[in-house]
Homo-oligomer: A and B are copies of this chain.
Amino acid sequence: MLILIDERGKKYLLNSDQDFHNDLGIIKKEDLQGSNAGDTLETHLGKHIKVVKADVNDLIELMQRRCSILLPKDIGIVISHTGLGCGDRVVDAGTGAGAIALHFANVVGNEGEVHSYEIREDFAQIAQSNIDQFQLDNVEIKNKDIKEGIDEEDVDLVFLDLPKPWEMLESVYGALKTGGWLAVYAPYIEQVQILHRIAKKVGFEEVTTIECILREIEVKVKGTRPKTRMVGHTGYLSFARKL
Protein backbone atom coordinates (compact mmCIF):
# COMPACT_ATOMS: atom_id res chain seq x y z
CA MET A 1 0.00 0.00 0.00
CA LEU A 2 1.38 3.39 -1.01
CA ILE A 3 0.92 6.82 0.49
CA LEU A 4 1.82 10.31 -0.64
CA ILE A 5 3.82 12.65 1.59
CA ASP A 6 3.88 16.32 0.65
CA GLU A 7 6.61 18.86 1.37
CA ARG A 8 5.12 19.62 4.80
CA GLY A 9 5.17 15.96 5.84
CA LYS A 10 1.41 15.60 5.46
CA LYS A 11 0.29 12.11 4.46
CA TYR A 12 -2.46 10.93 2.07
CA LEU A 13 -3.57 7.51 0.87
CA LEU A 14 -2.58 7.05 -2.76
CA ASN A 15 -5.79 6.46 -4.68
CA SER A 16 -5.04 6.00 -8.38
CA ASP A 17 -8.71 5.92 -9.37
CA GLN A 18 -8.85 9.69 -9.35
CA ASP A 19 -6.69 12.79 -9.58
CA PHE A 20 -4.99 13.87 -6.37
CA HIS A 21 -5.49 17.47 -5.34
CA ASN A 22 -4.76 19.49 -2.28
CA ASP A 23 -3.77 23.12 -1.68
CA LEU A 24 -0.31 22.42 -3.15
CA GLY A 25 -1.75 21.46 -6.53
CA ILE A 26 -2.99 18.58 -8.62
CA ILE A 27 -1.47 15.27 -9.76
CA LYS A 28 -3.26 13.43 -12.55
CA LYS A 29 -4.41 9.86 -11.92
CA GLU A 30 -2.34 8.67 -14.87
CA ASP A 31 0.79 9.82 -13.04
CA LEU A 32 -0.36 8.14 -9.84
CA GLN A 33 -1.06 4.85 -11.58
CA GLY A 34 2.47 4.35 -12.79
CA SER A 35 4.19 5.45 -9.60
CA ASN A 36 6.31 3.36 -7.22
CA ALA A 37 7.63 3.78 -3.70
CA GLY A 38 10.55 6.15 -3.93
CA ASP A 39 9.21 8.22 -6.83
CA THR A 40 8.79 11.94 -6.45
CA LEU A 41 5.77 13.38 -8.28
CA GLU A 42 5.19 17.02 -9.11
CA THR A 43 1.90 18.89 -8.80
CA HIS A 44 0.80 21.33 -11.52
CA LEU A 45 2.03 24.07 -9.15
CA GLY A 46 5.52 22.56 -9.12
CA LYS A 47 5.35 21.15 -5.56
CA HIS A 48 7.03 17.82 -4.84
CA ILE A 49 5.13 14.89 -3.40
CA LYS A 50 6.80 11.62 -2.47
CA VAL A 51 5.42 8.15 -3.00
CA VAL A 52 6.16 6.03 0.05
CA LYS A 53 5.42 2.46 1.08
CA ALA A 54 2.97 2.85 3.95
CA ASP A 55 3.57 1.02 7.18
CA VAL A 56 0.72 0.11 9.50
CA ASN A 57 1.35 3.17 11.66
CA ASP A 58 0.87 5.42 8.63
CA LEU A 59 -2.48 3.75 7.97
CA ILE A 60 -3.58 4.23 11.57
CA GLU A 61 -2.56 7.87 11.34
CA LEU A 62 -4.82 8.14 8.25
CA MET A 63 -7.81 6.36 9.81
CA GLN A 64 -11.08 8.25 9.91
CA ARG A 65 -11.74 8.26 13.64
CA ARG A 66 -9.20 7.15 16.11
CA CYS A 67 -11.02 6.72 19.49
CA SER A 68 -8.51 5.81 22.14
CA ILE A 69 -5.80 3.80 20.50
CA LEU A 70 -3.29 1.43 22.04
CA LEU A 71 0.26 2.68 21.83
CA PRO A 72 2.79 0.77 19.70
CA LYS A 73 4.76 -0.08 22.85
CA ASP A 74 1.86 -2.17 24.17
CA ILE A 75 0.94 -3.70 20.81
CA GLY A 76 4.54 -4.68 20.18
CA ILE A 77 4.90 -6.41 23.52
CA VAL A 78 1.70 -8.36 22.90
CA ILE A 79 3.11 -9.52 19.56
CA SER A 80 6.54 -10.52 20.85
CA HIS A 81 5.40 -12.03 24.14
CA THR A 82 2.84 -14.28 22.45
CA GLY A 83 5.05 -14.92 19.43
CA LEU A 84 2.36 -13.83 17.00
CA GLY A 85 3.47 -14.54 13.45
CA CYS A 86 2.54 -14.72 9.81
CA GLY A 87 -0.35 -17.11 9.21
CA ASP A 88 -1.73 -16.98 12.75
CA ARG A 89 -5.40 -16.73 13.69
CA VAL A 90 -6.38 -13.92 16.04
CA VAL A 91 -9.55 -12.94 17.87
CA ASP A 92 -9.74 -9.47 19.40
CA ALA A 93 -12.37 -7.51 21.33
CA GLY A 94 -13.35 -4.70 21.49
CA THR A 95 -12.48 -3.43 18.07
CA GLY A 96 -12.75 0.31 18.66
CA ALA A 97 -11.72 2.03 15.45
CA GLY A 98 -9.78 -1.07 14.47
CA ALA A 99 -6.21 0.06 15.12
CA ILE A 100 -5.07 -3.05 16.93
CA ALA A 101 -6.84 -5.25 14.37
CA LEU A 102 -4.77 -3.44 11.71
CA HIS A 103 -1.57 -4.25 13.58
CA PHE A 104 -2.54 -7.89 13.98
CA ALA A 105 -3.61 -8.12 10.32
CA ASN A 106 -0.28 -6.66 9.28
CA VAL A 107 1.58 -9.43 11.12
CA VAL A 108 -0.62 -12.43 10.31
CA GLY A 109 -0.85 -11.56 6.61
CA ASN A 110 -3.14 -13.12 4.05
CA GLU A 111 -2.53 -16.65 5.29
CA GLY A 112 -3.76 -15.51 8.69
CA GLU A 113 -7.06 -14.16 9.99
CA VAL A 114 -8.21 -11.50 12.43
CA HIS A 115 -11.74 -11.67 13.82
CA SER A 116 -12.58 -8.54 15.72
CA TYR A 117 -15.63 -8.30 18.03
CA GLU A 118 -17.23 -4.95 18.77
CA ILE A 119 -20.45 -4.56 20.75
CA ARG A 120 -21.18 -0.99 19.65
CA GLU A 121 -22.61 -0.65 16.17
CA ASP A 122 -21.13 2.81 15.53
CA PHE A 123 -17.61 1.66 16.34
CA ALA A 124 -18.04 -1.49 14.25
CA GLN A 125 -19.04 0.64 11.27
CA ILE A 126 -16.08 2.97 11.63
CA ALA A 127 -13.74 0.01 11.93
CA GLN A 128 -15.30 -1.63 8.89
CA SER A 129 -14.89 1.48 6.79
CA ASN A 130 -11.25 1.76 7.86
CA ILE A 131 -10.63 -1.87 6.94
CA ASP A 132 -12.37 -1.35 3.60
CA GLN A 133 -10.34 1.71 2.84
CA PHE A 134 -7.12 -0.24 3.27
CA GLN A 135 -8.52 -3.20 1.29
CA LEU A 136 -7.64 -5.77 3.94
CA ASP A 137 -9.05 -9.22 3.20
CA ASN A 138 -7.85 -10.85 6.39
CA VAL A 139 -9.90 -8.87 8.93
CA GLU A 140 -13.49 -9.60 9.83
CA ILE A 141 -15.27 -6.97 11.93
CA LYS A 142 -18.12 -8.55 13.90
CA ASN A 143 -20.74 -6.33 15.50
CA LYS A 144 -21.33 -8.78 18.30
CA ASP A 145 -20.90 -9.06 22.07
CA ILE A 146 -18.00 -11.44 22.62
CA LYS A 147 -19.63 -12.49 25.91
CA GLU A 148 -22.21 -14.38 23.83
CA GLY A 149 -19.50 -16.71 22.60
CA ILE A 150 -16.51 -16.96 20.28
CA ASP A 151 -17.28 -18.47 16.89
CA GLU A 152 -13.69 -19.27 15.96
CA GLU A 153 -11.64 -22.33 16.88
CA ASP A 154 -7.93 -23.18 16.88
CA VAL A 155 -7.01 -19.59 17.59
CA ASP A 156 -3.39 -18.59 18.28
CA LEU A 157 -4.12 -15.36 20.14
CA VAL A 158 -7.15 -13.84 21.81
CA PHE A 159 -6.63 -10.20 22.71
CA LEU A 160 -9.08 -8.46 25.06
CA ASP A 161 -9.33 -4.73 25.68
CA LEU A 162 -12.61 -4.69 27.63
CA PRO A 163 -13.76 -3.41 31.03
CA LYS A 164 -14.42 -6.92 32.41
CA PRO A 165 -12.11 -9.25 30.50
CA TRP A 166 -12.68 -12.09 33.00
CA GLU A 167 -16.29 -12.60 31.93
CA MET A 168 -15.50 -14.64 28.83
CA LEU A 169 -12.38 -16.58 29.83
CA GLU A 170 -14.04 -19.98 29.47
CA SER A 171 -14.99 -19.38 25.87
CA VAL A 172 -11.55 -17.89 25.22
CA TYR A 173 -10.01 -21.07 26.61
CA GLY A 174 -12.23 -23.13 24.35
CA ALA A 175 -11.36 -21.11 21.26
CA LEU A 176 -7.58 -21.29 21.74
CA LYS A 177 -5.24 -23.85 20.25
CA THR A 178 -3.16 -25.71 22.82
CA GLY A 179 -0.11 -23.47 23.12
CA GLY A 180 -2.18 -20.40 22.22
CA TRP A 181 -2.22 -17.18 24.22
CA LEU A 182 -4.66 -14.87 25.91
CA ALA A 183 -3.46 -11.26 26.13
CA VAL A 184 -5.37 -8.62 28.08
CA TYR A 185 -4.95 -4.88 28.22
CA ALA A 186 -6.42 -3.26 31.32
CA PRO A 187 -5.70 0.12 32.90
CA TYR A 188 -6.66 -0.70 36.51
CA ILE A 189 -4.86 -3.01 38.91
CA GLU A 190 -8.20 -4.30 40.23
CA GLN A 191 -8.91 -5.73 36.76
CA VAL A 192 -5.57 -7.51 36.84
CA GLN A 193 -6.29 -9.02 40.24
CA ILE A 194 -9.63 -10.50 39.22
CA LEU A 195 -8.23 -11.67 35.90
CA HIS A 196 -5.43 -13.65 37.55
CA ARG A 197 -7.86 -15.43 39.85
CA ILE A 198 -10.32 -16.38 37.12
CA ALA A 199 -7.69 -17.27 34.52
CA LYS A 200 -6.12 -19.81 36.86
CA LYS A 201 -9.52 -21.20 37.76
CA VAL A 202 -10.39 -21.69 34.09
CA GLY A 203 -7.16 -23.64 33.55
CA PHE A 204 -4.75 -21.13 32.05
CA GLU A 205 -1.06 -21.44 32.87
CA GLU A 206 1.88 -18.99 32.83
CA VAL A 207 -0.41 -16.17 34.01
CA THR A 208 1.71 -13.03 34.24
CA THR A 209 1.31 -9.27 34.16
CA ILE A 210 3.74 -6.63 33.01
CA GLU A 211 3.79 -2.92 32.50
CA CYS A 212 5.89 -1.05 29.98
CA ILE A 213 7.12 2.43 30.84
CA LEU A 214 8.36 4.10 27.69
CA ARG A 215 10.79 6.97 27.80
CA GLU A 216 11.63 9.11 24.81
CA ILE A 217 15.20 10.38 24.70
CA GLU A 218 15.91 13.86 23.36
CA VAL A 219 19.20 14.11 21.48
CA LYS A 220 19.83 17.79 20.83
CA VAL A 221 22.81 20.07 20.38
CA LYS A 222 22.02 21.48 23.82
CA GLY A 223 22.30 18.03 25.36
CA THR A 224 20.81 14.57 25.72
CA ARG A 225 18.06 13.72 28.21
CA PRO A 226 14.78 11.87 28.63
CA LYS A 227 11.83 14.07 27.67
CA THR A 228 10.36 16.28 30.38
CA ARG A 229 6.81 15.01 29.93
CA MET A 230 5.89 11.41 29.36
CA VAL A 231 2.98 9.02 29.38
CA GLY A 232 2.98 7.67 32.91
CA HIS A 233 0.67 4.71 32.43
CA THR A 234 -1.45 3.29 29.66
CA GLY A 235 -2.48 -0.15 30.88
CA TYR A 236 -1.26 -3.38 32.37
CA LEU A 237 -0.62 -6.24 29.94
CA SER A 238 -1.60 -9.66 31.25
CA PHE A 239 -0.80 -12.94 29.55
CA ALA A 240 -2.02 -16.50 30.05
CA ARG A 241 -1.39 -19.61 28.03
CA LYS A 242 -3.48 -22.68 27.26
CA LEU A 243 -1.24 -25.70 27.82
Partner of A217, one of B82, B103, B179, B211: B211
How many whole Å from A41's CB to the nearest CB in chain B?
12
Question: Given B57, B156, B213, B229, which contacts A213 in the complex, CB threshold below 8 Å?
Answer: B213
20 A-B pairs (CB sep. < 8 Å): A38-B178, A50-B178, A50-B243, A52-B178, A52-B179, A55-B82, A56-B83, A73-B212, A75-B76, A83-B103, A83-B106, A86-B110, A209-B216, A216-B232, A217-B236, A226-B232, A229-B231, A230-B230, A230-B232, A230-B233
Question: CB distance A188 to B232 under 8 Å?
Answer: no
Main secondary structure of the interface of A (DSSP, over half): mixed
Q: How many angstroms from the CA of A4 to the CA of B213 in the assembled complex?
A: 35
Flag if B214 contacts A210 (CB, 8 Å). yes
Q: How large is the interface on A (under 10, 10 to 19, 20 to 34, 35 or more residues)?
A: 35 or more
Contact A232:B223 (CB < 8 A) given known A80-B79, A213-B213, A216-B208: no
Q: What is the CA–CA distance of A187 and B228 in the complex, to the nearest angstrom?
A: 10
Q: Provide the bound-state CA to CA distance between A187 and B223, in Å.
A: 9
B86 and A108 form a contact (CB under 8 A): yes
For A228, the chain B residues whose CB sits under 8 A away are: 231-234
Other-chain residue from B111, B214, B229 in contact with A229 (beta carbon distance below 8 A): B229
Interface string of A68-106 (1 = CB under 8 A from B): 000011011111111111110000000000000001001
Q: Is the CB of A181 within 8 A of B55?
A: yes
Interface, chain A (partner B; CB < 8 A): 3, 5, 37-38, 50-58, 72-73, 75-87, 103, 106-112, 156, 177-181, 187-193, 196, 207-217, 219, 222-234, 236, 243
A165 to chain B, nearest CB (A): 13
CB of A106, distance to nearest CB on chain B (Å):
4
Q: Could you say which residues of chain B place their CB within 8 Å of the CB of A232?
A: 215-216, 226-230
| Complex contact A225–B73 (CB within 8 A) | no
* A51 closest partner in B (C-beta): B178
**Cβ–Cβ < 8 Å partners of A178 in chain B:** 37-38, 50-53
On whether the beta carbons of B80 and A76 are closer than 8 Å, the reply is: yes
